[in-house]
Structure 1
Amino acid sequence: MTKHSKDSRQHILEVAQEIISCKGFSAVGLNEVLKAAEVPKGSFYHYFASKEAFGVAMLEDYFEQYLITMEQILTRKDYPAIDNLMLYWQYWLETQGSQEACGTRCLVVKLAAEVSDLSAAMRAVLHQGTQNIIARLADAMVRGITEGSLKLAPDTASATATTLYQLWLGASLMAKITQSSDPLYSAFETTKGMLIP
């Protein structure tokens, strides 16, 4: 694939993420994405074999970018791991708490229930992506335990990371239902209570 092809493919994925994070996967037609991306319809199938393959690629790209952001937050060298972890949760609160900017919303929250029953391939990407997020959180917790900024038993990092990730996914869903950031603030306080000695 040429650089131009990669750039065009990436542009389609980025435009699609913004639209789909607002409207959902099934509600968005390919024409809408291609029109917004200013890409001819015929070229879509040059990059993606089907809408499902496009959905898989979009989720893979989403997780790739999300994990880069996580790494930037969780591995800041001049801060203890607990500060990096709390900054990550603050980032989640700020990006998912805004009721105006739906284009920056978490695709896991938006699509998990919708596509998991429609596409085994997309569900598999969602599963692997969320497992990677939990693993990054667990790694940061292990660093915190090792350096002494986090008062958890060493063998509980993975379970704690899983619990907190699930807490925040649930809080994000409730924030959508209530159209309020209150569930996210509640999750933040619970997280502080679990992690800060």
Structure 2
Amino acid sequence: MPVTARSPDTRKNILDAAQRIMAHKGYSAVGLNEVLAEAGVPKGSFYHYFPSKDAFGEALLSSYFADYVTDMDRILAPSGKPAAERLMAYWQQWRETQSLDECQGKCLAVKLGAEVSDLSEPMRLQLKAGTNAIVDRLEQTIADGLQDGSLSIEGTPREIAQPLYDLWLGASVMAKIHRSLAPLDTATAVTRTLLHL
């Protein structure tokens, strides 16, 4: 049954549908009608939730990163496991959910990063805030690993967290280009080296 404009979940349904579609097609290639048809929402109600496609793009990225860091927090949360083990579990999940064409909306930063950064300054800033939140969590977990002795690094936790995220983001793009998981396997090996695992 289609979602009606009065449904309290209409806004979320629109964002979820857009995330699934845009993870495969990109931002510019997707029209609002396609998103609304997928969400089962009449076109007129779109503008009740989003004043423009750019405002919609900002909301999409905000929603994506909120969900992403919630999932990340679940994986990296102190749980009696050493921080190094939790970090490697995060990278393993990345490998499983953000590789090739099967990301199911989990790789929006990879898919949209370069594209929307040149289209919209507010969307670029949303991407920057979201990726900084990810790096912040990596930094904290690396610091936890230094404290629990499960890893060692050369430099500060931030000096390792940022290039690790950059490495994995680039490896995800290369995995798509080559249609191979080899770049993600290389990222795993480099990660182990940087964390002295």
Q: Same fold (TM over 0.5)?
A: yes
Aligned residue for 1:79? 81
Query: Counterparts of 1:188 and 1:117 in 2: how far apart (Å)?
Result: 30
Aligned residue for 1:42? 44
Aligned residue for 1:70? 72
Distance 1:51 1:58, change over 3 A: same
Question: Contact (CA 8 Å) 2:101, 2:176: kept in 1 or not?
Answer: no
Q: Which has more helix, going by share of residues?
A: 1
Question: Contact (CA 8 Å) 2:76, 2:87: kept in 1 or not?
Answer: yes
Query: Counterparts of 2:101 and 2:64 in 1: how far apart (Å)?
Result: 20
Query: Counterparts of 2:125 and 2:106 in 1: how far apart (Å)?
Result: 20
1:139 paired to 2:140: yes
CA-atom RMSD in angstroms: 1.3
Query: Counterparts of 2:75 and 2:97 in 1: how far apart (Å)?
Result: 14
Aligned residue for 2:176? 176
Aligned residue for 2:97? 95
Structure 1 consecutive aligned stretches of length 4 or more whose deviation exceeds 6 Å = none
One-letter amino acid of the structure 1 residue matched with residue 89 of structure 2? L
Question: Contact (CA 8 Å) 1:134, 1:165: kept in 2 or not?
Answer: yes
One-letter amino acid of the structure 2 residue matched with residue 189 of structure 1? A
One-letter amino acid of the structure 1 residue matched with residue 93 of structure 2? Y
Q: How far 1:104 moved relative to its partner?
A: 3.2
Query: Counterparts of 2:196 and 2:68 in 1: how far apart (Å)?
Result: 25
Of all paired residues, the percent bearing the same amino acid is: 52
One-letter amino acid of the structure 2 residue matched with residue 10 of structure 1? K
Q: How far 1:196 moved relative to its partner?
A: 3.4
One-letter amino acid of the structure 2 residue matched with residue 186 of structure 1? T
Question: Gapped runs of 5+ residues in structure 1?
Answer: none
- How many positions carry a matched residue from both structures? 192
Query: Counterparts of 1:161 and 1:132 in 2: how far apart (Å)?
Result: 11
Aligned residue for 2:164? 164
Query: Counterparts of 2:164 and 2:103 in 1: how far apart (Å)?
Result: 23
Question: Gapped runs of 5+ residues in structure 2?
Answer: 1-5
Question: Contact (CA 8 Å) 2:153, 2:196: kept in 1 or not?
Answer: no
Distance 1:176 1:83, change over 3 A: same
Query: Counterparts of 1:42 and 1:131 in 2: how far apart (Å)?
Result: 35
String of CA shifts for 1:83-141, please: whole Å, max 9, x gaps.
Answer: 000000000011122x3424234111101111111100000000011111000000001
One-letter amino acid of the structure 2 residue matched with residue 184 of structure 1? L
